[in-house]
Structure 1
Amino acid sequence: MGNKFFNSRLFYVLASVFFAIILFFNANATSIRNETGNNSAGEVYTATINNVPIELKYDTTNYFVSGYTSTATVHLSGYNRLSITNEENVDTRKFYLSMDLSKYKVGKVDVPVRIESLPSAVTATISPKTMNVTIEKKASEEFEVTPKVDPTQLPTGFTIATQSVNDQTVKVTAGKESITQIAAIVAALPSDVTLTDNYAGTVTLHAVDSTGKILPAQISPATTHLKVLVNKLTKKVPIELKTTGTLDKSLSEMKTKLSADTVTISGEESSLDAITKIPANISVTGVTKETKVKVPLSASGVTLDPKEIEVTLIPVKK
């Protein structure tokens, strides 16, 4: 009886159904492993994204907000590596950060930083989670622009001749209370510049209080062109001409005539003190008739006026 069952058509049908079910579940398991990046061990993928911009939601027409940083750090984690990679890339990123200030009143408040539109396969934490924000009624006013040079940016012995800016006045927008603390709008010489020569360039404008502390404000325009002319330390030194090369056999000597015997050098006091003359070399090789030659002048750590002289070579026959 038992052998008849195993040889029956019903047995083969049941066996076929059994193996089909096994193959189905095996295929689904393979598909799931592929979809999760072959993450068979349940590995968690992580990423840290710095400087993610924060969108502020508030009535920009009537209020001014300060005291916050415009970016935050986001730590991502998830089992799907592709989802993490997409959120890392700013071009494929779906999430964004926001702070909703619309329900708060004027004053200092702690506001949570929220993450929006984060894919369900990804979890995230934000640093910082909250920010202390100052909310004020908005106010606008015209201010004069003041050029500024820190004394430490002038070498010893140098003085400022003139300083000027292209924009004499600018429009400043800030909080109603904060704007009363503004003592000046400064166009400061960049901190990495030392005035060994005149300066001209575009600088960022800042609102400062009476102590020089930078205050939060929107300035229009935000930059201006700053020009600073300096009085340099100068001194005159002689030019020492030296002839090089081979004198032609038909000549007894080579006379020289310089367009200038001295040069004015300018620079820091220590550099000027180290220089007592400016060397100038000129070759007489192949010169058999009167010749005028431009000779460049140079010296370390200073500027020269003129930067070149004209030397006349005058051959003297035997």
Structure 2
Amino acid sequence: MRNKFFTSKFFYILTSVFFAIVLFFNANATAVRNDGNTSGNSVYTATVTNVPIELKYDSNKYFVSTSTSAATVHLSGYNRLQITNETSEDTRNFYLSIDLNHASEGTNAYPIKVEALPSGVKADIVPSTIEVTIEQKAAQEFNVVPKVDKSQIPTGYTVSSIELSEQSVNVTAGKQSITKIHAIEADLPSDALLTNNFNGKVALRAVDEKGKTLPAQISPANIRMKVYVKRLSKEVPIRVNLTGTLDPSLSGMETSLASDNVKIFGEKAALDKISDVVATVDMTGIKESKKVKVSLKAQGVTVYPNTIEVTLTPKVKK
């Protein structure tokens, strides 16, 4: 009787149902483990920095400025290739945006939205919201003001002149913000040290009375700037100082210089203290006309040329 049961059609049906139930629960358990990241399926992550935020608004009517123009996006997903593709600008699908088409004027916080994100990829945006200021659009022409920081002018140098390729530029900003613009500055690059003349392109920026940068669109955004420098200097006479012992057969020693004046370079305070440069010549043992090369030095300055030829002419006693 028992053997007939195990070989009966009913037994085979019962067995099939049993295994179907087992497979069903096993499949669901696997799915749950995957969602909880406790299975062998790895979750791949990547962080993408400086992702630009696209602002959607009527640019013909409004001027929009933000507290930041980019965000960081943390990506995660089970497909490594998808994550890798989304980290590269060349293969990226997703982008960040804020729709301001129905927003009111003023400053408010708006959420950043991630768009075109592939299925199976999760994105967390930092920050998730940013402050946006919406104003009526305004335009005005401003003169360009060159700016050179004092720290960029080495000791002993001074700026003699500055030339700009553009004297004025067109500026677009918010109706309220544009009234706060004090100047459009052409800043010498911070890494430039004016030991020589500078000639290059510089960025323009709008600043208020305190020098704070204001949001504005400047056209052109960059101009050519030429800064001419010279070393602080002045010309002073050379004074001969005779030292040593005059030969007893001589009544005196005449001197003449290859040049009567010399240039000195240095800080203004040091230059102001010097009225001449001394050429010290030892006349000991000199009984006939002789040319002597003498070093020239002065405290706190550079002397050029730093040597001078002095001609000594003995005066014989009568």
Which residue of structure 2 lines up, in the alignment, with residue 177 of structure 1?
A: 176
Segments of 4+ moved more than 4 angstroms: 1-8, 264-269
Mark the CA change 1:266 to 1:171 in structure 2 (over 3 Å): closer, same or farther. Answer: farther
Mark the CA change 1:267 to 1:101 in structure 2 (over 3 Å): closer, same or farther. Answer: farther
Do the aligned residues in 1 keep the contact of 2:234 with 2:265 (CA within 8 Å)? no
Q: Find the aligned partners of 2:266 and 2:90 in 1 and give their Cα distance.
A: 51
Report the AA paired with residue 178 of structure 1: S
Which residue of structure 2 lines up, in the alignment, with residue 232 of structure 1?
A: 231
Q: Find the aligned partners of 2:69 and 2:111 in 1 and give their Cα distance.
A: 13
Report the AA paired with residue 207 of structure 1: A
Which residue of structure 2 lines up, in the alignment, with residue 67 of structure 1?
A: 66
Larger Rg over CA atoms: 2
Do the aligned residues in 1 keep the contact of 2:157 with 2:229 (CA within 8 Å)? yes
Is 1:147 matched up with 2:141?
no
Mark the CA change 1:183 to 1:83 in structure 2 (over 3 Å): closer, same or farther. Answer: same
Q: Find the aligned partners of 2:174 and 2:7 in 1 and give their Cα distance.
A: 92
Q: Find the aligned partners of 1:219 and 1:267 in 2 and give their Cα distance.
A: 41
Deviation at 1:265, TM superposition (A): 9.4
Deviates more, 1:91-100 or 1:171-180: 91-100
Do the aligned residues in 2 keep the contact of 1:200 with 1:228 (CA within 8 Å)? yes
What 5-or-longer segments of structure 2 have no aligned partner? 32-37, 236-257, 272-301, 306-318
Mark the CA change 1:154 to 1:231 in structure 2 (over 3 Å): closer, same or farther. Answer: same
Deviation at 1:204, TM superposition (A): 0.4
- TM-score, normalised via structure 2 length: 0.63
Mark the CA change 1:53 to 1:265 in structure 2 (over 3 Å): closer, same or farther. Answer: farther
Which residue of structure 2 lines up, in the alignment, with residue 109 of structure 1?
A: 108
Tell me the alpha carbon deviations over residues 17-74 of structure 1, each in whole angstroms, 9 at most, x when there is no partner: 99xx9xx99xx9xxx9xxxxxx952322111111111111011111111133221000
Matches within 5 A, 1:1-318: 41-233=40-232
Deviation at 1:192, TM superposition (A): 1.1
Q: Find the aligned partners of 1:266 and 1:67 in 2 and give their Cα distance.
A: 53
Mark the CA change 1:194 to 1:268 in structure 2 (over 3 Å): closer, same or farther. Answer: farther
Deviates more, 1:86-95 or 1:99-108: 86-95
Tell me the alpha carbon deviations over residues 77-100 of structure 1, each in whole angstroms, 9 at most, x when there is no partner: 122222222222222222111011
Q: Find the aligned partners of 1:43 and 1:145 in 2 and give their Cα distance.
A: 57
- TM-score, normalised via structure 1 length: 0.63
What 5-or-longer segments of structure 1 have no aligned partner? 33-38, 237-259, 274-301, 306-318
Identity percentage of aligned residues: 55
Q: Find the aligned partners of 1:176 and 1:86 in 2 and give their Cα distance.
A: 42
Q: Find the aligned partners of 2:265 and 2:7 in 1 and give their Cα distance.
A: 110
Mark the CA change 1:267 to 1:204 in structure 2 (over 3 Å): closer, same or farther. Answer: farther
Q: Find the aligned partners of 2:149 and 2:234 in 1 and give their Cα distance.
A: 26
Do the aligned residues in 2 keep the contact of 1:197 with 1:232 (CA within 8 Å)? no
Q: Find the aligned partners of 2:265 and 2:192 in 1 and give their Cα distance.
A: 15
Q: Find the aligned partners of 1:81 and 1:193 in 2 and give their Cα distance.
A: 45
Mark the CA change 1:7 to 1:107 in structure 2 (over 3 Å): closer, same or farther. Answer: closer
Which residue of structure 1 lines up, in the alignment, with residue 310 of structure 2?
A: none
Q: Aligned Cα RMSD in Å?
A: 4.0
Which residue of structure 2 lines up, in the alignment, with residue 293 of structure 1?
A: none
SS at match of 2:40: coil
Q: Find the aligned partners of 2:186 and 2:131 in 1 and give their Cα distance.
A: 29
Q: Find the aligned partners of 1:5 and 1:267 in 2 and give their Cα distance.
A: 117
